[in-house]
Amino acid sequence: MLEVRRIAGALGAEVHGVDLSAPLAPGTVAEIRRALLDHLVIFFRDQDLTPAQFLAFAGSMGKPVEYPFVKGLPDYPEIIQVMKLEHERTNFGGIWHTDTAYLEVPPMGSMLLAREVPPVGGDTLFANQHLAYETLSSGMRHLLDGLTGVNSSAKADVTRTREDRMRSDGRDDARREYVAEHPVVRTHPETGRKALYVNVAHTVRFRDMTEEESAPLLGYLFQHQVRPEFTCRFQWAVGSIAFWDNRCTLHNPVNDYHGYRRVMHRITLAGERPR
Q: Which residue of the set 99, 130, 245, 265 is catalytic? A: 99
Residue 251 falls in the annotated catalytic set: yes
SS (H, E, C) the chain: CCEEEECCCCCCEEEECCCCCCCCCHHHHHHHHHHHHHHCEEEECCCCCCHHHHHHHHHHHCCEECCCCECCECCECCEEEEEECCCCCCCCCCCCECCCCCCCCCCCEEEEEEEECCCCCCCEEEEEHHHHHHCCCHHHHHHHCCCEEEEECCCHHHHHCCHHHHHHHECCCCCCCCEEEEECEEECCCCCCEEECCCCCCEEEECCCCHHHHHHHHHHHHHHCCCHHHEEEECCCCCCEEEEECCCEEEEECCCCCCCCEEEEEEEECCCCCC
Which among 205, 247, 265, 266 is annotated as catalytic?
A: 266
Catalytic option among 202, 247, 251, 265:
251
* 38 annotated active-site: no
123 counts as catalytic:
no
Contact 269, 58 (CB under 8 A): yes
Confirm if 246 and 43 have CB atoms less than 8 A apart.
no
- Catalytic residue, from 97, 182, 188, 262: name it: 97
Active site residue 266: yes
Taking CA 45 as the corner, what is the angle to CA 247 and CA 106, rounded to the nearest 5 degrees? 15
CA-CA-CA-CA torsion sign (33, 34, 40, 41): negative
> Is the separation of the CB atoms in 265 and 76 below 8 Å?
no
Residues noted as catalytic: 97, 99, 251, 266
